[in-house]
Amino acid sequence: MKSFLLSAILFFVIPAIAFGEAPFLVTESAIPIDKESYQADAGLQFSKANTQITSLSASLRYGLINNLEIAATLPYLFANSRSQSDNQFGDIFLAAKVRFIKGREANPLSIGGAMQVKVPFGSRDSLVGTTGEADVGFSALATKGIPPYEAHLNLGYTFIGNSPGGIPDQIHYSLAVNKSNFLPNISLMGELFGTADASGPSHDQWSAALGASTFVRPNVRIDGAIGVGLSSQPPDYILNARGSYFLK
């Protein structure tokens, strides 16, 4: 049971911060940000399961060259269960995303890939989900835009380090669709995502989310999303709010 709870925390809290590109909880677009551009995000997320976790996160994306971006994320985690509570910095997530195929007008399909490394930063704590070990993940990304809609598909595999309880490697997948200008200056999104143990079908977890985003200034965007668990496994729900600042 302890291993399962930690596995649920690892997928539904931390990867949602590290992988999810606003306004999504988990899904990543195949399109990197422009060369020499920055995107700074500040997020607040609440996840309700057997353990309640609130996370504050700061992340920075940078367009290193054309079709390649790098990113770093650092969360601060507050965890509460029926019998205990704790708070501390989470592990640092470093990521790189590359676009292999750029969508064109005749075929607006972009194909990319992403790599993420979780670097131990916080002390090992099963309650907040920090393992004290490095994890490495790879994802295939696809994005197709047919205005005003854009669809995204992710499929990935994460190699879990030597964590407490022997958590197996994880397969993760997501499908998301967003519609721009649903209302003036308001975009909507829907997302379906899940994870499974690479060693077998046990503890498969599915969730869905709905969200919206808007630009309050030309270079400032805010977004929010609500996610709910669709399987018998946690989480019960996820609440997420985020602000993004764009600089060229």
Residue 187: φ, ψ to 5°: -110, 145
**What residue segments make up the domains of the chain, in order of their start?**
2-247
Kindly compute the dihedral angle of the four CA atoms of residues 57, 50, 205, 111, in this order, to the nearest 10 degrees.
0
**Confidence class of residue 14 from pLDDT cuts 50, 70 and 90?**
very low
Q: Residues 101-150: pLDDT tens digits?
A: 999 988 999 999 999 999 988 776 666 667 778 899 999 999 999 999 99
Closest Cα partner for 87 from 122, 57, 118, 119?
A: 122
Fold of 2-247: Porin (2.40.160)
Q: Residues 60-100: pLDDT tens digits?
A: 999 999 999 999 999 998 988 777 888 889 889 999 999 99
Q: What angle do CA 151, 154, 159 make, to 5 degrees?
A: 170
Percent with pLDDT over 70 in the chain: 86
**Confidence class of residue 3 from pLDDT cuts 50, 70 and 90?**
very low
The pLDDT assigned to 8 comes to 44
Distances (CA, A) of 173 to 40, 89, 208: 25, 27, 12
DSSP reduced 3-state for 18 = helix
The pLDDT assigned to 57 comes to 93
**Confidence class of residue 12 from pLDDT cuts 50, 70 and 90?**
very low
